[in-house]
Amino acid sequence: MQSRTWGGAKFVVLKSGERTSTAVSALFAVAVALGTVAATVVIATSLAIAASPASAATKSSKSLLPKLPSWVKGRIAYGLWLPTQIPTDQTTGLTGDYKVLQSDLSSWLELDPEFGTGFSAHGKGTLDAIFQTTVMTTSETVKTGVRATFREGYGQYSKGSWDVRAGRQIIPWGKSDGINPTDFLGAKTAYLLWTDEESKRFGSDSVSANFVPAGGSSPWGFTVVGTAIYPRSSALITKEITGNSVQIYEGDRNPDAVSSQRGELAAKVSYFGNGFDFDFIAFTGRRHLPQYAFKSVTLSPPVQVGVESRYEQIQALGANASYNWNDWQLREEIALTHQISEELYNPLILPVYLDSVLGVERLFSNKIRAQGQWIYRYFTHFVTPTSGAATDPIQGQFLDQLRHTNALIQGMLYKDRHAFSLRVSYEREGSDVVPEVFLLSYLNPGEGILQPKVTMSIKTSWKLALGAIFFYGPGDQAIGALNSYSSVYGELRYLF
């Protein structure tokens, strides 16, 4: 249990209760642990080999580092994020000081050694030194420190028809650009600012098996994935979303036990044809974005409010397809999700909802690449966030605010919702400069994200990215409330 004080009230964060793990989940955990341990040993051994005098003796005149084995790669990067405006408190109208949003120095290391007879390992880790100012109102939270992240580490056996992996894995599913309804197994962190979405991903402890008949030459593929503990994404939450009377903190994002309630299972059937492909997916597990539940309130000063983060159980069916026709590429991604409501804090009662993304992409004159998508969500049974009953007015006030906050975070405030995205880049052959612009716009309630960016390659190992990200829309909506995070940025990367 953690306690925080804000606005004269003390807020207590409570963790959800856990059930004892079963024998099956324990065996599953052992399999994941063995894969993770094997990958960890391989990574440690690989680092020792890469740092050996034999490797260090050979220097490249064009490289800052010793010559490394071909299965070692990574990057070192420095990023700086500056806000586009001076923060203003929406309640008092007072302005704060102009400060850096984030300054970070990060190093990424990726290892892919092979051992013959189909056995290999994969490891990916990061080490970040961070200075961050989270500007939510005129009062700011400054975060500094060094963070080490073990993003991936698994053992792999691949031979003939089979590809089996065990350990910590990042398993992204979906064919759309940025918006992926069938990415049931993925999770991202929103606590740090990154120049690309893939850097936000982190792995989960899983066992995956992929089978392609006819020794790997069949157009059909069958994949099964089991996850020991569902990964937990984070969301950027500001006072404009939660309201002035409530501050919400997430519970424990790293549970230390394995339980049948925490496991996830997914299956995928794929077909790769001539110029087209499709997938059918089934999933049972948890929603990876949190919802927040009211626990208790104590009226004696200071007012003490208990909240806990919950991750709803869901069952889903999904499909992906892509089709190439001359210079055009068409994509479709669709998911039908049934969410099991467990508490009154949920804005919807036993909702079944449909997510669909229809996209088209074309390269014009071998220079201009354009991608457009239409995004749609529809609920078959919708209940407004403030329609629940409460035992007393104080509890009802907090419940209504939590329902509204959850609905904003999960995109469940409207019965149906339309959006579109557009990405345009200029990629001239032989040029080291690639300008790009991305727009995501929700038609109701009229909010979105605009991201212009220019990437420059300097020689072979250096890359410079300059860009901006603008959040726009009503201040009481999920994206519009992030207007204080609108910023310009620069990042310099050294690749090895």
Least confident of 41-55, 285-299, 423-437: 41-55
Reduced 3-state DSSP string for 375-437? EEEEECCCCCCCCCCCCCHHHHHHHHHHHHHHHHHHCCCCCEEEEEEEEEEECCCCCCEEEEE
**Average pLDDT of span 474-488:** 86
Q: How far apart are CA 13 and CA 92, in angstroms?
A: 28
Q: What's the average model confidence in pLDDT over 390-401?
A: 67
List the end-to-end C-alpha distance of the chain, in Å, as a whole number.
43
pLDDT over 50 at 236, yes or no: yes
Cα-flanking dihedrals φ and ψ of residue 223, to 5°? -125, 135
Cα 104 vs. chain centroid, distance in angstroms?
Answer: 19
Q: What pLDDT was estimated at residue 450? A: 97
What does the pLDDT average to over 233-253?
A: 58
Are the CB atoms for 234 and 244 separated by under 8 Å? Answer: no
Work out the angle at residue 376's Cα, subtended by the Cα atoms of residues 375 and 379, and round it to the nearest 5 degrees. Answer: 155
In the chain, the amino acid numbered 209 is A
According to DSSP, the residues that pair with 438 across neighbouring strands are 423, 451
SS3 of the chain: the string is CEEEEECCEEEEECCCCCCCCCHHHHHHHHHHHHHHHHHHHHHHHHHHHHCCHHHHCCECCCCCCECCCCCEEEEEEEEEEEECCCCECCCCCCECCCCCCEEEEEEEEEECCECCCCEEEEEEEEEEEEEEEEECCCCEEEEEEEEEEEEEEEEEEEECCEEEEEEEECCCCCCCCCCCCCCCCCCECCCCCCCCHHHHECCEEEEEEEECCHHHCCCEEEEEEEECCCCCCCCCCCHHHHCCCCCCCCCCCCCCCCCCCCCEEEEEEEEECCCEEEEEEEEEEECCCCEEEEEEEECCCCCEEEEEEECCEEEEEEEEEEEEECCEEEEEEEEEEEEECCCCCCCCCCCEEEEEEEEEEEEECCCEEEEEEEEEEEECCCCCCCCCCCCCHHHHHHHHHHHHHHHHHHCCCCCEEEEEEEEEEECCCCCCEEEEEEEEEECCCCEEEEEEEEEEEECCCEEEEEEEEEEECCCCCCCHHHHHHCEEEEEEEEEC
Write out pLDDT tens, residues 284-333.
Answer: 999 898 877 766 666 666 566 666 777 888 999 999 999 999 889 999 99
pLDDT value of position 142: 52
Phi-psi region of 481 (alpha: psi -120 to 50; beta: other; left: phi over 0): alpha
In what side-by-side order are the strands of the sheet with 2-6?
Answer: 2-6, 9-13, 304-310, 291-298
pLDDT on residue 102: 85
2-495 topology per CATH: Porin (2.40.160)
pLDDT band, very low/low/confident/very high, at 47 (cuts 50, 70, 90): very low
Give pLDDT, residue 169. 94
Q: For strand 9-13 and strand 304-310, is the pairing parallel, antiparallel, or unpaired?
A: parallel
Lowest mean pLDDT among 12-26, 92-106, 109-123, 398-412: 12-26
> Worst-scoring range by mean pLDDT, 215-219, 379-383, 443-447?
379-383
> What pLDDT, in 10s, does the model give residues 396-414?
677 777 777 778 878 888 8
Q: Quote the pTM value.
A: 0.80
User: 490 pLDDT exceeds 60?
Assistant: yes
Token digits for 409? 């975070």
Q: Which two tokens stand for residue 50?
A: 């890469």
What would the two tokens of residue 471 be?
Answer: 């959040």
